[in-house]
Structure 1
Amino acid sequence: MKRSSVKNTMFGILGLAAMAALSPAAAQDKDPVKVGLMLPYSGTYAALGEAITNGLKLAIQENNNELGGRPVEYVVVDSEADASKSPQNMSQLTKGDKVDFVIGPVHSGVAMGMVKMARQTDAITIIPNAGLAAATGQLCRPNVFRTSFTMWQNAHTMGKVAYDRGHRNIATISWNYAGGKEDLAAFEEGFTEAGGEIMNQMLVPFPQTEFQSYLTEIASMKPDAVYTFFAGGGAVKFVKDYHAAGLKDSVPLLGSGFLTDGTLQAQGEAAEGVLTTLHYAVTLDNEANRHFVEAYSEEFDARADVYAVQGYDTGKMLVQALGKTGGNTADKEGLIKALEGVKLDSPRGPVSFSSAHHPIQNIYLREVKDGRNVVIATAAEALADPARGCSM
């Protein structure tokens, strides 16, 4: 063999070796991190999906629109809050578009389908809203995280608050779907553990917003208070109908914070005095929240709310974790470890993650005053979901 041939062969071998040494992480350097968004952009939850998306993009924008030094590509799918379409949409994002992360959903029924599909893939799924306990409970997986809440965190806390405020007999009402039933069950657990009694649980077909017959029944029962879980357009309609029925002055209305978050402008005077428990309020007085509220308003000409915060914290989580991995999304084990170690100075207060990949966070008691959710107490501090059934 000629010397030149040997020399060329050696350079070829060295080149291949160098390429191998760089793979797979270095090969990603110029490739975008693909973030799949599986959120509702139509229907009753459209505003929620938009707020989560805005918050997520704001957090990444504040990091020079990069994750671990890499550009970001968003792949958007409208979940339509339709649980039947969840497996197909999840498959499209993970197998078709080959995204690095799936962010979603809002609706707990959709979350069930997402999590079941996440068990069949290594794509990291981050839930920025749906409070279904199973996702970080009996269906927990190393590649599934949540940046929002479980129904238990907010509703169980309100059960204790309701009893402490002197209520002993309460009626509950929500939509007849997984999230609603789970929320009412968590409230009942907290309330009855304290010594209270549930007079009646009413379940409204989803997404029906005709509440008159239920309000008539409530008036005839004369409970000490009513506890409810509704969100989005349903929350607006229920609060306005409750006020119009003349119930609010005689039967206090309590709820999960989603009843009055992102809905106050539409609810107007009808929401005044309503008490809710939630892991965030736009009126929280801390530096991170003041920055977020101002930046969100300036960027989107809209009011910040809990959905926007959950999206924002999802973005901050990605920024922090991919900063630790240097943008490497190929090493799933290393990326999951980085996500597990995230600690956020969030607009909602300090947030860390439990072994079930669920946020440990404060829960606040809020009252609607002059069209704002005003924090009147920290109802639970650094509260972790019990993550029943999780074994990772």
Structure 2
Amino acid sequence: MDSNKKAFRSMAVLAMLLGSFWGGGAVAVEPLKIGMLLPRTGAYAALGEAITNGVSLAVEQNNGHFGGRPVELVSVDGGSVGETLRTMRRLIGNNGVDVVVGPVHSDVGIMAVRAVRDSHVPLIITNAGFNAATGQRCAPNVFRTSFSSWQIAWPMGQVAAERGYRNVVTIAWRYGFGVESVAGFKEGLHNAGGRVSKEIYIPFPELDFDAALAEVAELKPDAVFVFFAGSGASSFVRDYAAAGLQGKIPLIGPGFITEGLEEPGEAADGILTTLHYADSLDTPQNSRFRSAYQQKFGQAANIYAVQGYDAGLLLAQSLSKVAGNTENSEQWFAAMEEETIDSPRGTWRFSPAHNPVQNIYLREMRNGTNQVLSIAAENLSDPARGCSLL
């Protein structure tokens, strides 16, 4: 009889303990705090919004939880280079985020990488393409779901040479990514027998292109390779057509010149770009993504949304494998390294330097959409020059 009473009391205690976890007085699961280091104002505000939308869609499709933990987005304005270190310290120290997603601007990215190198908090770069992030400044806790400057510009050099564009003028904003994009294009073009006859740089974020376009008209190159993005891309495309250069001198570049254009109209028709995504990719993943994005946000998805969405998929999948445990960073980072992302852009995985190994598509702008012509480079991996993880 005594043994039965003891057993009953033990079961009652166990029931109370379980009730404290799962009953009406349940112990709350710690939220997963994601710091969103993305621009809210300026030339890249629309890019930051699209990335945020992509992450939000992935959160919604996982019922608001990653690895069993409710997701909380902690958004800050990540558009100022000078404020980046202070902003990152606030996210990691004051807000206690588990991971930082962003940024857009490469110069902001350089500072963000510096801020996380001595921490166990991972940085998931959702746009900034500066080569050093997965090159000389690579780190175990720095991952990228976007691209490197080299990765999307080098293939266009090959394409240009194949199309007979042997004498090319380049125009770009003068900051890290613009300069690196030109360098990657030059490498691809020179390797294929072409040359860049003139490099023209515009101070960031200036939108006065008149002098550059006048010089192009005078030089009459075979093609113009250009890097601008956001509102800068929209302005340049309109000004290029207004200057009478459209249809006379082909306009080529990495795909950001045509991504998210504000009412591009006929001014954008015929622009050739290389990028790791295209609106017209005919895959079930892309169809589902574009439909869900349109329904939720009332606008068409673009590459920035894809990069944010893939960051969400990466976090959802890796945290599921570690049961939401972000304290064991080594285990979590290893899970991220092993992930294969079934993305709207196509399936991709990480290189040893934590940059996507992915297809780069050749696209042409037609009637307001980027149409795939071919794969310019299949499963292309960034060379990751100087990365200590290799």
Superposition TM-score tier, normalisation by shorter sequence: over 0.9
CA gap of 1:321–1:218, structure 2 versus 1, over 3 A, is same
- The CA distance in 1 between the partners of 2:149 and 2:245, in whole Å, is 25
- The CA distance in 2 between the partners of 1:28 and 1:233, in whole Å, is 47
The residue type paired with residue 246 of structure 1 is G
Q: How much does 1:28 deviate?
A: 9.8
- The CA distance in 1 between the partners of 2:58 and 2:28, in whole Å, is 21
- The CA distance in 2 between the partners of 1:369 and 1:76, in whole Å, is 35
User: Which residue of structure 2 lines up, in the alignment, with residue 48 of structure 1?
Assistant: 47
User: Which residue of structure 2 lines up, in the alignment, with residue 219 of structure 1?
Assistant: 217
- The CA distance in 2 between the partners of 1:288 and 1:267, in whole Å, is 26
Aligned with 2:82: secondary structure? Answer: helix
TM-score computed with the length of structure 1 as normaliser: 0.92
Q: How much does 1:202 deviate?
A: 0.4
Verify the 8 A CA contact 1:366 1:373 in the aligned structure 2.
Answer: yes
> How does 1:111-126 map onto structure 2 within 5 Å?
111-126=109-124
Aligned with 2:238: secondary structure? Answer: helix
Aligned with 1:368: secondary structure? Answer: strand
- The CA distance in 2 between the partners of 1:273 and 1:227, in whole Å, is 14
> How does 1:328-347 map onto structure 2 within 5 Å?
328-347=325-344
Verify the 8 A CA contact 1:29 1:327 in the aligned structure 2.
Answer: no
Equivalent position to 2:189, from 188, 191, 200: 191
For residues 204-240 of structure 1, the C-alpha deviation after alignment (integer angstroms, 9 at most, x for no partner) is 0111000001100011001000000100000001010
- The CA distance in 1 between the partners of 2:386 and 2:253, in whole Å, is 26
Equivalent position to 1:254, from 229, 252, 255: 252
Verify the 8 A CA contact 2:265 2:367 in the aligned structure 1.
Answer: no
Verify the 8 A CA contact 2:104 2:128 in the aligned structure 1.
Answer: yes
**Are 2:348 and 1:351 aligned?**
yes
For residues 122-156 of structure 1, the C-alpha deviation after alignment (integer angstroms, 9 at most, x for no partner) is 11100000000101110000000000001111100
Q: How much does 1:57 deviate?
A: 0.9
Q: How much does 1:266 deviate?
A: 2.4
For residues 265-299 of structure 1, the C-alpha deviation after alignment (integer angstroms, 9 at most, x for no partner) is 42221000000000001110000000000000000
User: Which residue of structure 2 lines up, in the alignment, with residue 76 of structure 1?
Assistant: 75
User: Which residue of structure 1 lines up, in the alignment, with residue 135 of structure 2?
Assistant: 137
User: Which residue of structure 2 lines up, in the alignment, with residue 8 of structure 1?
Assistant: none
- The CA distance in 1 between the partners of 2:248 and 2:295, in whole Å, is 40
The residue type paired with residue 138 of structure 1 is Q
Aligned with 1:84: secondary structure? Answer: coil
Aligned with 1:351: secondary structure? Answer: strand
User: Which residue of structure 2 lines up, in the alignment, with residue 92 of structure 1?
Assistant: 90
- The CA distance in 1 between the partners of 2:243 and 2:278, in whole Å, is 28
- The CA distance in 2 between the partners of 1:117 and 1:310, in whole Å, is 22
Q: Which ranges of structure 1 fall in alignment gaps of 5 or more residues?
A: 1-10, 19-26
- The CA distance in 2 between the partners of 1:168 and 1:28, in whole Å, is 67
The residue type paired with residue 312 of structure 1 is Y
- The CA distance in 2 between the partners of 1:175 and 1:155, in whole Å, is 15
User: Which residue of structure 2 lines up, in the alignment, with residue 366 of structure 1?
Assistant: 363
Q: How much does 1:74 deviate?
A: 1.1
User: Which residue of structure 2 lines up, in the alignment, with residue 308 of structure 1?
Assistant: 305
Equivalent residues, number: 369
CA gap of 1:30–1:378, structure 2 versus 1, over 3 A, is same
Verify the 8 A CA contact 1:103 1:126 in the aligned structure 2.
Answer: yes
TM-score computed with the length of structure 2 as normaliser: 0.92
- The CA distance in 2 between the partners of 1:187 and 1:83, in whole Å, is 26
- The CA distance in 2 between the partners of 1:378 and 1:98, in whole Å, is 42
Equivalent position to 1:318, from 315, 320, 328: 315
User: Which residue of structure 1 lines up, in the alignment, with residue 158 of structure 2?
Assistant: 160
Aligned with 2:71: secondary structure? Answer: strand
